Amino acid sequence: MRRLGLVVHPTRPLEGVLGELSAWTAARGVDLGQVRVEGQTRSVADQVEPDECDLMVALGGDGTTLAALHAGAPCSTAVLGIACGSVGVLTSVAADLAIAALDSVEAGDWTAVDIPGIEVAGADRPAEVAINDLTVIRDGPNQVIVSIVVDDVLYARVAGDGLVVATALGSSAYTMAAGGPILAPGLDGLVLTPLAPHGGSTPPLVVGLDSSVELTVDPGHGGLRHEIDGRPASFAGDRLSVRPRAAYAKLVRLADEEPRLTGLRRRGLIADGPRVLIRDARGDARPL
């Protein structure tokens, strides 16, 4: 490794882990720089470009890791996510294990995993790519109506707060919070989850990687907004074209890394039912 590029959270305390990373790189003659991302004003190292880095390290939470993945995507630079005061899913390594993780990378005990994306195109601009999700959501007191067409076939017209379109990786974020399903690791596709639909029957819909989705949105008098991975995005017109993208960015997966579903349980995002926990507490092995 010749150069390591940092992407840092704008406000969280990072002095401890930054000191450890600086000592680790200095001991090995590795250059340590900072990859600047949109809206970042915090400076912790000299600026470097993603294509100049052998590895990028994101210090923060899932938002910081998403920013790093977007920055590294054009040049396929892999990103290691370090959780600094976060319960995120993409940040697979706790801050106190950052040096152990870098030792594993140095030893070759890791792989660069392809992260899928969602290409979102409007009528007025080139496509943007989401890693977690695209959200179309009302921006006023009224409902919006979203017409969902999959492979030229109408699925439903949904009146409510809007719609979330997520990748399998992003399905444990806004989609899960909205009552949609989690797509298990290894399952390719997108999940479309209506937000607070008013009447009708519009369960979340899972579509495959070969499918195309067209959304036509009536914003009503209150208007709407678009978000790409939680960031504001602007698309003119009432139509969006949405397509899965099989390999967009690269994320570091360590050889001894826990399965993603295990991580969701450990973080408390997935929890057993109260009856199961009560039975465990009393040592009762009888069937439920």
pLDDT of residue 90: 83
Lowest mean pLDDT among 46-50, 85-89, 162-166, 224-228: 85-89
Lowest mean pLDDT among 10-14, 19-23, 101-105, 283-287: 283-287
| Residue 76 pLDDT grade (very low, low, confident, very high; cuts 50, 70, 90) | very high
Q: pLDDT of 120-175, one tens digit each?
A: 998 777 789 999 999 999 998 889 999 999 999 999 999 999 999 999 999 999 99
* Domain locations along the chain: 3-109+255-273, 117-246
**The token pair that represents 121 in the structure block:** 């195109």
Answer CATH for 117-246 from 3.30.9.10, 3.40.225.10, 3.40.50.300, 2.60.200.30: 2.60.200.30
pLDDT of residue 280: 86
Tell whether the model's pLDDT for residue 253 goes beyond 90: yes
Mean pLDDT of the chain: 91
| Residue 85 pLDDT grade (very low, low, confident, very high; cuts 50, 70, 90) | confident
Q: Residue range 73-86: average pLDDT?
A: 92
Tell whether the model's pLDDT for residue 284 goes beyond 80: no
% of the chain at pLDDT higher than 90: 68
Tell whether the model's pLDDT for residue 14 goes beyond 90: yes
On whether the CB atoms of residues 59 and 91 are closer than 8 A, the answer is no
Please tell me the distance from the alpha carbon of residue 288 to that of residue 285, in angstroms, as a whole number: 9
The amino acid at residue 288 is: L
Q: pLDDT of 167-219, one tens digit each?
A: 999 999 999 999 999 999 888 899 999 999 998 899 999 999 899 999 999 99
Q: Which of 256 and 18 is assigned the larger pLDDT?
A: 18
Please tell me the distance from the alpha carbon of residue 219 to that of residue 141, in angstroms, as a whole number: 11
Residue 51: phi and psi, rounded to 5, are -75, -5
Active site (annotated) includes residue 62:
yes
Exactly one of 51, 62, 139, 188 is catalytic; name it.
62
Second-level CATH architecture of 3-109+255-273: 3-Layer(aba) Sandwich (3.40)
Q: Any alpha helices (H) in the chain, and if so which ranges?
A: 15-28, 62-72, 98-106, 174-177, 260-266, 274-281
pTM as predicted = 0.91
Q: Residue range 106-121: average pLDDT?
A: 94
Q: Which DSSP state fits 47? A: B
**The token pair that represents 64 in the structure block:** 């910081």
Tell whether the model's pLDDT for residue 287 goes beyond 70: no
